[in-house]
Chains A and B, each alone.
Chain A
Amino acid sequence: MIVEILAAGLVISACLAIFLDEAVYAVVALAGTFFLTSLLYAFSDALFVAIFQFAVGAGTLAVLFLSGEMLSEPPQKTSQKTLLSMIAIGVLLSLPAIFLSISTPTGLLSGISFGEALWDLRAVDVVLQGFVIMTVALGIAIVLHEKRKGEN
């Protein structure tokens, strides 16, 4: 029952994070999303992931709060009716997750330990890191190209 309530809260806070107009409130709703996700992991016996999610979320939110405060436009008041309708949409959206289910295969690669997975399947990691570095390099090249074009 607790997990279902957490799931509903997660969807509601995600909806609020997207639909609330004021940046700081949206960031607070996102903080709720991170916190509830972390709790959901903890209740699913994934404590390592819960702590990781909490730490990453806390760091991201600290920066986001500053950016939100710095970059936000003058606040617009959200009416109570709109707020209630957002919560209702969140509750409605969370219902399929609570009542429906999809069967998933189990025991596909369950024999691999953490160390083996990290080192034996390094290729996946390396390929993905390659993609990330390539994207960053492309971004930098484009920025420098545009800057040079602007100077000429």
Chain B
Amino acid sequence: MDYIILSLILMSIGIYGLLTKRDLLKVFISVELIATAATLNFVMLVPSLGKGLGEAFLILAFSTDTCVSGVILALLVIVHKKYGTSDIGDLVKMENTKEENEVEA
């Protein structure tokens, strides 16, 4: 059982979701999966890094991950409140229509 390959697979799934999914909630889930893969790498590399250094990096990784989650969720709620959708395609279309209307006016 190799944790590095497991982490690589998790990261690949996350990147696939990030590139293909158009819903912002799915994008957030993809980011969470990538963060989990990174944390898994830190945990499993603890024997080579040393326990202390591994734990220090982990605390940093967890804190950064939580901050990123908070910011993404806040943006998600703001976007949904303002535009009524969380689909990236719809948001781009709305923005384009808005710009076209401004040019016409």
Contacts and interface: CB of A to CB of B under 8 A. Distances in A.
Given A46-B46, A102-B4, A132-B64, A63 B73 contact: yes
B105 to A, nearest CB: 14
B91 interface: no
B9 A113 contact: no
Contacts of A64: 25, 28, 73
A152 interface: no
Nearest to B13: A14
B94 interface: no
Nearest to A89: B13
Given A7-B6, A97-B6, A18 B30 contact: yes
Contacts of B5: 96-97, 100-102
Interface string B32-49: 110010011001111111
A129 to B, nearest CB: 9
Interface string B7-35: 00110011011000101111011101100
Interface of A: 3-4, 7, 10-11, 14-15, 17-18, 23, 26-27, 30, 33-34, 37, 40-41, 44, 46, 48-49, 52-53, 56, 59-60, 63-64, 67-68, 70-72, 93-94, 96-98, 100-102, 104-118, 121, 124-125, 128, 132, 136, 139
Interface of B: 1-6, 9-10, 13-14, 16-17, 21, 23-26, 28-30, 32-33, 36, 39-40, 43-53, 55-60, 62, 64-67, 69, 71, 73, 76-77, 80, 86
Given A71-B86, A110-B47, 17 more contacts: A3-B1, A18-B16, A18-B17, A30-B29, A30-B32, A49-B43, A52-B58, A96-B5, A97-B6, A104-B48, A111-B50, A112-B53, A113-B51, A117-B50, A118-B52, A121-B56, A128-B64
